[in-house]
Amino acid sequence: MNTDNILKEKVREKYSEIAQQSKLKNQSSCCGATGSCGDDFYTIMSDDYSKLEGYVADADLGLGCGLPTAFAQIKEGDTVVDLGSGAGNDAFIARKLTGPKGRIIGIDFTEAMIAKARENSEKIGFNNVEFRQGDIESMPITSNIADVIVSNCVLNLVPNKHKVFSEIFRVLKPGGHFSISDIVLQGELPGKWREIAALYAGCVSGAIQKEEYLGIIKEAGFADITLQKEKEIVLPDEILEEYLTAEEIAAYKASETRITSITVFAKKAAKDARGCCEPGSGCC
């Protein structure tokens, strides 16, 4: 099994466990990772969804690092795809915005999360929200179908981010856009963090440099790339002590390394580079 597949299996196993954990436990860690950040820091990653219309408490596992759906400019009747949909939190917020004429498709890698999301959807009685199990590096979804794609603290878990943004470009309609919240870095993390499965599944060690992340989006063909929100993530001593010695903690704090939550927006052009419509449309 290659390294990417090993990492994916670690994520699948961890998020199967997380699906059964309480929201409080997930919030008091780094995206559900094993170590606790302490009671005073239980919102270290996540933002508060509870004030948003369409909020469903049972679907909020406290695993996010932003509010991408609130920034996504979703309109009534839109088709919205949620990558790493978990228990359905962002999907249900999106459904409130699209109304009954819209369509929401959640995609998640973990069977336990899909089951939880479907259970929540059944309780609400939505008939235009569906959840599909699949790998977002190869989405089980038709090309050029989505008006909007959202994702919350998921892409940092995916080894091949180039492939994910290529898939996002494929799935979006010409003129469609995405709003994605994720964890990025400025400076280098301690090397040992990248070897710890709990931290990989906890959104930290799978993160890449901010400029590299934005560069991948540009390389995939997106335009109008905009940072909608940035928030520095300060890891408290309680969690640093789970993984680093006192000397390593001091070195980390003295470094210029920053862990940041960003929400980034970008569009897929309505026409190709020649000024023509989407290939195959017959208008060129």
Q: Quick one: pLDDT at residue 178? A: 98
Rounded to whole angstroms, how far apart are CA atoms 212 and 154? 17
Rounded to whole angstroms, how far apart are CA atoms 170 and 163? 10
Whether residue 117 lies inside any domain: the answer is yes
Report how far apart, in Å, the C-alpha atoms of 129 and of each of 119, 200, 254 are. 12, 30, 47
Whether residue 88 lies inside any domain: the answer is yes
Q: DSSP character for 192?
A: G
Q: Quick one: pLDDT at residue 121? A: 95
Whether residue 89 lies inside any domain: the answer is yes
Rounded to whole angstroms, how far apart are CA atoms 158 and 136? 8
Whether residue 277 lies inside any domain: the answer is no
Q: How many domains does the chain fold into?
A: 1
Whether residue 284 lies inside any domain: the answer is no
Q: Quick one: pLDDT at residue 10? A: 62
Whether residue 281 lies inside any domain: the answer is no
- Domain that residue 97 falls in: 3-267
Select from 244, 150, 228 the least CA-distant residue to 192. Answer: 244
Q: Quick one: pLDDT at residue 273? A: 53
Q: How many CB atoms neighbour CB 100 within 10 A? A: 11
Q: Quick one: pLDDT at residue 137? A: 95
pLDDT digit of tens for each residue in the chain (284 aa)?
A: 566 665 666 666 666 566 565 454 444 444 444 444 433 333 467 788 989 999 999 999 888 889 999 999 999 999 999 999 999 999 999 999 999 999 999 999 999 999 999 999 999 999 999 999 999 999 999 999 999 999 999 998 888 999 999 999 999 999 999 999 999 999 988 877 776 656 655 567 778 999 999 999 999 999 999 999 999 988 888 878 888 899 999 998 999 889 899 999 999 999 765 455 555 555 54
Whether residue 276 lies inside any domain: the answer is no
Whether residue 273 lies inside any domain: the answer is no
Rounded to whole angstroms, how far apart are CA atoms 76 and 70? 14
Mark residue 60 as left, alpha or beta (left: phi above 0; alpha: psi -120 to 50; beta: remaining). beta
Q: Quick one: pLDDT at residue 197? A: 58
CATH number of domain containing 150: 3.40.50.150
Q: Quick one: pLDDT at residue 91? A: 97
